[in-house]
Structure 1
């Protein structure tokens, strides 16, 4: 194993705080999409504020990334893989940022309240338009599939670096050492 530099503590904390939130959203989304789910209302009540929490943490994470840049990848990683890693990070950040906004816009276009907790609600960000709602709902679904696929690639790459290559890339984000 190489002596790969570690991500700053704030970056690791945000990563490991958001990871289970995002995984939970995948399961909640599948549960919401299931026809006739008896827990639909409960899942929606969790999905909306959790999506906004992910959005807020993503903004914090982006600011943190500019203040605390990530360590460079090892020179032993081929340039095409380094490009793929950087592209996948950009896609993950874009999806963490865009997915909640599309969901918020979708609900706004349908005039559904975006309840965070009790009486606390978000204001609508788009005008009432059922055609726009339908389009954003479909977009939200396709983005969710893309997000899940990108997450699987990210998770697989982390395991590949940690278990096969043993080059320190996984350990650079791991809280343990």
Structure 2
């Protein structure tokens, strides 16, 4: 059985507790936090953040920024190409850094080929994370006599029309 501690006068016990020489009963009950700096008040990073900052960090950490930039490019095509051009064209595919744009007519496709550098510069300036490296302009669908990946050069079945 442990020996009972001798009784210390209250004034000396208070003095010892204040100097930290003797643990107080209150100190024994309180748990001490260690290592979790984010839970401490007045530490860096504890300030409230706006919803835009939180969502921006989430998309960046999740790796969604390139996908969202591509979607923004398609959604804002009229701002990139201009309102008149956007009425006659629309992006249809982005594969391996090549953005394919479908045009209403071959004249629009040719016109856009002439200003390809300007359109590409505007895309890179506004949407650098989209990954666009090249542009491809397609005219309207026209019937083709070629079938498959291999074709013989020449006029083909039109030879017998005469």
Relative to its length, the structure with more helix (as a share) is 1
TM-score, normalised via structure 2 length: 0.25
Q: Does 1 or 2 have the higher relative contact order (CA < 8 Å, sep 6+)?
A: 1
TM-score, normalised via structure 1 length: 0.24
Q: Which has the larger radius of gyration?
A: 2
Relative to its length, the structure with more strand (as a share) is 2
